[in-house]
Amino acid sequence: MKNLRVKCPAKINLTLEIINKREDGFHNIKSIMQLIDLYDYLDISVEKSDRTKIVLSGNSNEIPYNEKNIVFKATDTFLKKLGDECYTISINIDKNIPVAAGLAGGSTDAAGTIFGLNTVFDNILSDEELNELCASLGSDLNVCLNGGCLLATSRGEFIEHLPVIEKTVTLIKPKNLGISAKEAYTKYSEKDYKPQNNMTEKMTDALISNEDITPYLYNDLEYAIFEDYEELKYIKRILPDSIMSGSGSTYFLLRDYSGNLGDDYQIIRNLHFISNGVQIDQ
């Protein structure tokens, strides 16, 4: 039996701009994504077996532990690369990243699964093959696999590294509100007016020039769903410099925040930009 533990970091979207809707139903985007030091942990155990079996467990009652979980799908997809050999793979998901929060919690766990299994099987897949496998499973997996600060294009699977700067991050999330990517993108598609602010290009220049990035923080999906949720309006009213990450419902500040928004809001303080993606936890 082989065992290992994988650290799977969350991401935030410093920018997220939607270009258009694709024929496959996804959207072409341009987004600057930054990994932060908030982690899920995967405990992966692999042993040979007379039949293939995937067993998931974890500490969260907000996610399924069956074939509906993207970790299950990632495991199944990886196993198909091994040919006819059979294994029992057990993965325990220690969930710390909020669910349905725009922080890539599911995507980072799936990327961590692929990375961890590839380590167990002596790196049978090249970096290019790992990225191809991640791209086949979702839009944010390549960002979580590679880590750091990344310009993501197409539906998010094409990435380009940008400089990682030092920033403190505070996350604010309504405890009882999760927003799916499908809902957010659908509402954006229904908008008659679609802003063209080019904040991604402006922030890219600022990062490369080591200038202040805060004037360029922006998210088209915040514009799409903001008016539908009083919880988001409340966050923005109290913290006008906060920005939504991904499809929400998490907002972030690029500074410390010692205040309290009440019992209905979760605040995660003292986080930082990091340069790594998923990695083995030593």
Q: What is the DSSP letter of 278?
A: S
Q: Which amino acids are annotated catalytic?
A: 11, 140
∠ CA 218-141-188, nearest 5°, is: 40
Half-sphere exposure of 208 (CA within 13 A, CB side): 11
pLDDT 10s digits, 152-178: 999 888 899 999 999 999 999 999 998
Do 155 and 28 touch, CB atoms closer than 8 A?
yes
Q: What is the pLDDT of residue 92?
A: 98
pLDDT 10s digits, 79-105: 998 888 899 999 999 999 999 999 999
Here the CATH number for the domain that contains residue 237 is 3.30.230.10
Q: What is the pLDDT of residue 251?
A: 98
Q: Residue 1 above 90 pLDDT?
A: no
Closest to 30 in 3D by CA, of 201, 190, 165: 201
Query: Please, what is the angle between helix 105-120 and helix 70-79, to 10°?
Result: 30
Q: What is the pLDDT of residue 130?
A: 96
Domain count, the chain: 1
Residue 155's domain spans which residues? 1-282
Q: Residue 256 above 90 pLDDT?
A: yes
What pLDDT band is residue 146 in, cutting at 50, 70 and 90?
very high
What pLDDT band is residue 237 in, cutting at 50, 70 and 90?
very high
Q: What is the pLDDT of residue 27?
A: 81
Total H helices, total E strands in the chain? 8, 12
Q: What is the pLDDT of residue 242?
A: 98
State pTM to two decimals. 0.95
